[in-house]
Structure 1
Amino acid sequence: MNHLIHPQVIYFVKKECDPNWRIDNHIIHYYDLVFVLEGSADYIIDGIPLQLQQGDILCLKPQSTRSARTSGMACVAIDFVLPENETIDLPVVTPCHELADFQWIFKEMNYEWLQKNEGHHMKCQALLILALHKLLYERAKHETNVHVGVIKRYIVEHYEEELTVKSLARVANINPVYCGALFKRVEKRTISYFINQVRINKAASLLESGEYNVGEVAAKTGFKDIYYFSSTFKRLMGISPKSYLNKGDV
């Protein structure tokens, strides 16, 4: 899924459900996201019984049928709609175990939703997109590593500097030999490839601005050799930097 989505939040709530809480069986006409913060709940979705535990995330599509009850649960529920030509594809239940990454999003959405100041729908839409991005992309990675995360962020913030496996290992406080092997195992690509990818993506943005020539862009993105820059750009972008620069004049 690489296309943009434009969700419109129609309902938000952060609540505690006591044993009297229940949802009678009915069809929904919107997307429904439920994050179970504490406790558990028994749902029946399209006739299939599901038990949600703390840390689980429920995602229902329009035209789903649902009913539910609980013996006690704290949750966040977000209902939203998408334009006709847009869709998202998430599992009905995603075991997350740790919802700490979403807590600040819940806090900000609750703040905006309860005030309902001018522009709150726009802010809530932006926050929901961030939550969906985490679910669709960030949490889609089966293996993550704190050291690799530190290395990637450092590269993105220092792409114009001289970067080596040894210097990046120092940043992540790990052995240089282990550093390269760890990065490749987690990311399925080498550190060198990731550095070039970040630099070329930045180079493309600079070329699109029309403010710099090819040599200036190469220097600004950490390439000391313009010929290596040109060959790397063409390999990753499928077009030479000069042609990329000139395409804006067509």
Structure 2
Amino acid sequence: MEFSNYPTMIYFVQKECSTNWKLNAANINFCDLVFVQSGSADYIIDKNPYHVVAGDVVCIQSGSSRIASTTGMTCVSIDFLVEDNDLPIPLPHVTSNVDLTEFEPLFTSIKYEWLQQTQGYRLKCQALFGLILYKLLYKQNNIEKSPYIKAIKKYVIEHYQENITVTKLAKLLKLNPVYCGSLFKKSENQTIQEFITQVRINKAANLLQLREHNVSEVAALTGFNDIYYFSNTFKRIMKVSPSEYKNSHLNTVL
């Protein structure tokens, strides 16, 4: 699921928590992410107890109640706000077994900027936090992707204007066409043809926003030979016709 409730980081700290550290019972008006780097802690979030250890990521939504204590823990804590508290960040209270090694350089960079507070530091920290959130929300689920899946996606994105078939892709990858299609469907929960169509429509939307081509030209530039099929497909996916989409972006691109 795509997360579009854009976050704004308001606080960052990397700390060692002794046995004296605790969070008293309170409802928070921000979101809190805690990356446990070593040790352990006990949280109560919305009356549910959690024992967290190294490699766990704690996510506490705005409006939630929290209590915490530890016998010793090193962690990174990031507080942030979201545009709409009714659309929470799509993470459970605790995500376990997260490989934190690829997050460490980002933590270090944010810490460096946050403590210096040179000109533009908030903008840079926000960009780094966005990358952390991306990795947490999406990349953790993509680590074990088959190289075949990556190859299929790469080829489609680079050749979406052309006539792409499952048979052609399977031949390029030296796979059985049926197996090729089944592998992609199992991994991506959509068929190869559905992925091709989505890439083409996304590109068409970009071209329509630029307003440099008419609808027929956009259809041809994105691999659609039939303008009526293109229009119907665009409307089915984008919920508006190509012309309506183009007109709705009349003043958005200079």
Q: TM-score range by the shorter chain?
A: 0.7 to 0.9
CA contact (8 A) 2:31 2:80 kept: yes
CA contact (8 A) 2:170 2:180 kept: yes
CA contact (8 A) 2:47 2:65 kept: no
C-alpha separation in 2, matches of 1:183 and 1:29: 41
Give 4+ residue runs of structure 1 displaced > 6 Å after superposition: none
Q: Distance in 1 between matches of 2:115 and 2:179?
A: 49
TM-score normalised by length of structure 1 = 0.78
Counting aligned pairs with the same residue, the percent is: 49
CA distance in 2, matches of 1:30, 1:85: 9
CA–CA separation in structure 1 for the residues paired with 2:232 and 2:84: 42
CA deviation after TM superposition for structure 1 residue 31, in Å? 2.0
Tell me if 1:56 matches 2:65.
Answer: no
Indicate the larger mover: 176-185 or 60-69. 60-69
Q: Which residue pairs with 2:146 in the alignment?
A: 146
Q: Which residue of 1 aligns with 2:24?
A: 25
Shift of 1:198: 0.9
* Residue pairs, 1:87-236, within 5 angstroms: 87-89=87-89, 90-136=91-137, 145-147=145-147, 148-169=149-170, 174-236=175-237
Compared CA separation, residues 234 and 132, structure 1 to 2 (3 A): same
For structure 1, the residue ranges without an aligned partner over 5 or more in a row are none
Does structure 1 conserve the Cα–Cα contact (< 8 Å) formed by 2:32 and 2:78? yes
Q: Is the 8 A contact 1:31 1:80 kept in 2?
A: yes
Alpha-carbon distance between aligned partners in 2 of 1:2 and 1:138, rounded to the nearest angstrom = 13
Partner of 2:10: 10
Alignment size in residue pairs: 247
CA RMSD of aligned residues (A): 3.4
Following superposition, the deviation at residue 246 of structure 1 comes to: 5.2
Indicate if the aligned counterparts of 1:5 and 1:86 stay in contact, CA closer than 8 A: no
8 Å CA contact 2:23, 2:66 repeated in 1: no
Change (3 A) 1:55 1:157: farther
The amino acid that maps onto 1:23 is: K
What is the TM-score with the length of structure 2 in the denominator?
Answer: 0.77
Gaps of 5+ in 2: none
TM-superposed CA distance for 1:232, in Å, is 3.0
The answer to whether the Cα contact below 8 Å between 2:57 and 2:98 also exists between their aligned partners in 1 is no
d(CA) in 2 for partners of 1:233, 1:113: 44
Q: 2: distance between equivalents of 1:166 and 1:44? A: 53
